[in-house]
Amino acid sequence: MQQSGLEAITRRLLSFDRWIGCAAFGNGNINDTYRVDVEQEGEQRSFLLQRLNHLVFREPEVVMQNIRSVCEYLRQQDYPYQVAAPLTTPGGTLLERDDAGNYWRIFPFLKNTFSPEGLADVDMACKAACAYGAFARALRHFPAEELVETIPGFHDTDRRWAHFLEVLHEDPAGRVRESRVEIEAMFAAKPVFDRVSGLKKSGELPRRVTHNDTKAGNVLFDAGTRQALAVIDLDTVMPGTILSDFGDMVRTFAPDRQEDDPSTPDLRMEVLEALREGFLAETRDFLTPQEKENLFLGAAWITGEQALRFLTDWLAGDVYYKIRRPDHNLARTRNQQALLEAIVRKTG
């Protein structure tokens, strides 16, 4: 988008005296984010301007209402981290819609901070797990039923499995025959999905407010002290089970290589233990015995579910995930299936 268009939408979101400029920021796969620099009352100040992807989040107002409710609640708790809340516009809203139908919002820009890129070390993994644990602790009494699912069925693996079977039957891209090994591995993972589904349906896993995207990049750290400052990206905060949040931490922090690396990943056990210790340091006293007992099952579940999503998209013809090479989704599938095997082998 051109600078003039970004300036125009920023003026609808923020009062300022002079536009200085903007630049793309971060490497998110869903939303488009820019750092904008403006002059306010004689001082240069920076903000984060973001286009909310309404093709993924089909009800942007609902997303923002969830975020508003959660942020207001966090501010009333004994929560030791900064609250990553969007700014209210001059018109009193949290969103502005441009002439093309895109939705925009603006956040404060925290200087001298960073989100981890690449493989996080043991210390950073532990601090991030503490931050995610503190987030769960602060929201443990929030009535989850008051939040709306911003992506319906996001962790409904039964639903995702049914869709996988449909794509498998229809074979729209003609890829089933060449993917027999990966398909068989997916069927071998089905018992993990069934165990989690059974626990959820029985009510043995409490329905809590969960973040649902607990990767390293969603914790901000102070560049000087390297202490965690804030849990960010609250678009997927909605009702769920704590197993998914711990599971996604393991899936994204603990492997020894990235999720699209074509070579076989393994678990960094020292990072896995740091995640467990950091998370439980904040959550041990309020999680149920079933939740604590099944944290590593959560890791296997979420990793297997991600493999299922990648494989389904590969078989469908790469219709959902952005790809950078023809076999990208297939490489991702193999990576996540190998990681699932490692998790089951080393924690089961």
Predicted confidence (pLDDT) per residue in 314-324, tens digit: 999 999 888 89
User: What is the per-residue pLDDT for 113?
Assistant: 95
- Calculate what percentage of the chain has a pLDDT beyond 90: 92
Which of the residue ranges 19-33, 108-122, 191-205, 238-252 would you say has the lowest mean pLDDT?
A: 19-33
Architecture of domain 3-109: 2-Layer Sandwich (3.30)
> Where in the chain is CATH 3.90.1200.10?
122-347
Check pLDDT > 90 for residue 26.
no
Query: How would you classify the pairing of strands 82-83 and 228-231?
Result: parallel
Supply the mean pLDDT for the chain: 95
Query: Which structure tokens are listed for 12?
Result: 């609808």
Contact partners, residue 74, CB within 8 Å, separation at least 6: 83, 135, 138, 139
β-strand partners of 35: 23, 48
Contact at 8 Å (CB) between 333 and 175? no
Check pLDDT > 80 for residue 216.
yes
User: pLDDT tens across 156-198, in order?
Assistant: 999 999 999 999 999 999 999 999 999 999 999 999 999 999 9
User: pLDDT tens across 104-157, in order?
Assistant: 999 999 999 999 888 999 999 999 999 999 999 999 999 999 999 999 999 999
> Where in the chain is CATH 3.30.200.20?
3-109
List strand residue ranges (DSSP E) for the chain, in order. 18-24, 32-40, 43-52, 82-83, 96-97, 103-108, 113-114, 208-210, 219-222, 228-231, 238-240
pLDDT-derived band of residue 29, with 50, 70 and 90 as boundaries?
A: low
Query: How would you classify the pairing of strands 113-114 and 18-24?
Result: unpaired
Residue closest to 52 by CA, chosen among 109, 107, 104, 108: 104
According to CATH, what is the number of the domain 122-347?
3.90.1200.10
User: pLDDT tens across 268-297, in order?
Assistant: 999 999 999 999 999 999 999 999 999 999
Mean local confidence (pLDDT), 206-235: 96
Mean local confidence (pLDDT), 226-234: 97
Could you give the CA distance from residue 81 to residue 197 in angstroms, rounded to a whole number? 33
Query: Which structure tokens are listed for 177?
Result: 């025959």
Residues across the chain: 348
Check pLDDT > 70 for residue 73.
yes
User: What is the per-residue pLDDT for 162?
Assistant: 98
pLDDT-derived band of residue 50, with 50, 70 and 90 as boundaries?
A: very high
Query: Which structure tokens are listed for 180?
Result: 């027999």
User: What is the per-residue pLDDT for 77?
Assistant: 97
Structure-token match 């020292």, residue found: 270
Query: How would you classify the pairing of strands 219-222 and 43-52?
Result: unpaired
Mean local confidence (pLDDT), 31-38: 94
Burial class of residue 118, CB neighbours in 10 A (0-12, 13-18, 19+):
exposed
Check pLDDT > 70 for residue 68.
yes
Mean local confidence (pLDDT), 60-64: 96
